[in-house]
């Protein structure tokens, strides 16, 4: 039985639906007209303005710094969590797995409000530190799940072989397990970095008045005007998405050689 025409047409329409808005933004970013749909000439002026926009650049730098710390912390915590989850099958690990999984499922608003009220109640000052703590909480889950998926493909006999050949546990982990797990950990780290850089809702709750990340700055641009500059910024972010999707796919697709 051949696939009918209806699913294929739907697929095509869905792809148009996915990419039309993105395309419009990208086109708008190179156009002199302030409103999209009105024809204008080619220009790079919005990009020039974007680069000269001190608020955006400062927000970007804040986001990158937060993202770097979050990636480091959540990659270590997430990888160790995945190793524990893979290695042991006890009741404690069932609870552990539930806790790792929950932040992925719970809506952002709920996590944001509960962290805000928690920080406020214990008297923790809102700012970059509270953003980092919040981001690590959900990023470590994504890292753990990606690394765990990779571990499930891992051939345990390789570790046994290393032990038989006289390797200590540390040697076996450092020289056998980690190199094979490397692409998985890298994919997890990239994921954590992207999610941290992207998050608006939870950050908005726990940022306090002092810290402005890139998404928070984009949000106020959307709310309070300056459209063409946002087109340029959006295009940059979309381009970054393409690059990181490509990198994650490369990292995860280089599976054990066939």
Residues 100-159 that bind another protein (CB under 8 A): 100-103, 105-111, 113-118, 120-121, 133-134, 136-137, 140-141, 144, 156
Angle of helix 54-87 relative to helix 128-151, nearest 10 degrees, comes to: 40
Task: Give min distance, CB of 21 to another protein, in A.
Answer: 3
Residue whose CB is less far from another protein, 43 or 137: 137
Q: Give least dist CB 200 to another protein, A.
A: 6
Q: What is the CA radius of gyration of the chain?
A: 22
Helix crossing, 54-87 with 178-198: angle to 10°? 140
**Residues ≥6 apart with Cβ < 8 Å to 41:** 31, 32
| Nearest-approach distance from CB 26 to another protein, in angstroms | 10
What does residue 68 show for φ and ψ, rounded to 5 degrees? -65, -50
With CB under 8 A as the contact rule, the residue among 64, 72, 80, 247 that binds another protein is 80
Among 77, 185, 186, 232, binds another protein (CB under 8 A): 77
Give the footprint of another protein on residues 8-47 (CB under 8 A).
8, 10-11, 14-15, 17-22, 24-25, 28, 35-38
| Minimum separation from the CB atom of position 121 to another protein (A) | 7
* Residue for token pair 């850089």: 197
Stretch that binds another protein, among 40-48, 53-61, 64-72, 87-95 (CB under 8 A): 87-95
Q: Of 111, 136, 100, give the one whose Cα is nearest residue 204.
A: 111
**In angstroms, what is the minimal distance from the CB of 42 to another protein?**
19
- Interface of this chain with another protein, residues 197 to 236, rule: CB under 8 A: 198, 200-201, 205, 215, 218-219, 222-223, 227, 230-231, 234
# residues contacting another protein (CB under 8 A): 89
**What are the DSSP calls for 173-186, one per residue?**
IIIIIHHHHHHHHH
Q: Pick from 36, 113, 72, 97: which is nearest to 196 by CA? A: 72
Phi-psi group of 257: left, alpha or beta (phi > 0 → left; psi -120 to 50 → alpha; rest → beta) = beta
């Amino acid at each position: 039985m051949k696939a009918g025409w209806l699913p294929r047409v739907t697929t095509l329409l869905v792809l148009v639906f996915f990419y039309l808005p993105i395309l419009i933004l990208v086109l708008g970013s190179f156009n002199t007209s302030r409103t999209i749909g009105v024809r204008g000439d080619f220009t790079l002026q919005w990009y020039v303005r974007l680069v000269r926009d001190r608020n955006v650049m400062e927000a970007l730098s804040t986001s990158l710094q937060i993202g770097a710390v979050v990636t480091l912390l959540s990659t270590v915590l997430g990888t160790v969590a995945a190793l524990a989850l893979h290695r042991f099958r006890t009741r404690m690990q069932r609870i552990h797995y539930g806790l790792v999984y929950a932040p992925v499922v719970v809506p952002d608003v709920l996590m944001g409000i509960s962290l805000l009220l928690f920080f406020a109640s214990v008297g923790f000052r809102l700012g970059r530190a509270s953003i980092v703590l919040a981001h690590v909480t959900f990023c470590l889950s994504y890292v753990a799940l990606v690394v765990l998926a990779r571990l499930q493909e891992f051939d345990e006999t390789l570790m046994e072989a290393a032990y038989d050949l006289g390797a200590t546990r540390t040697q076996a982990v450092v020289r056998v397990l980690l190199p094979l797990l490397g692409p998985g950990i890298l994919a997890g780290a990239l994921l954590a970095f992207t999610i941290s850089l992207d998050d608006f809702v939870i950050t908005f709750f726990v940022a306090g008045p002092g810290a402005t990340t890139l998404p928070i700055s984009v949000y106020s641009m959307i709310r309070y005007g300056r459209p063409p500059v946002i087109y340029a910024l959006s295009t940059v972010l979309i381009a970054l998405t393409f690059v990181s999707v490509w990198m994650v796919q490369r990292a995860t697709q280089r599976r054990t050689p066939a």
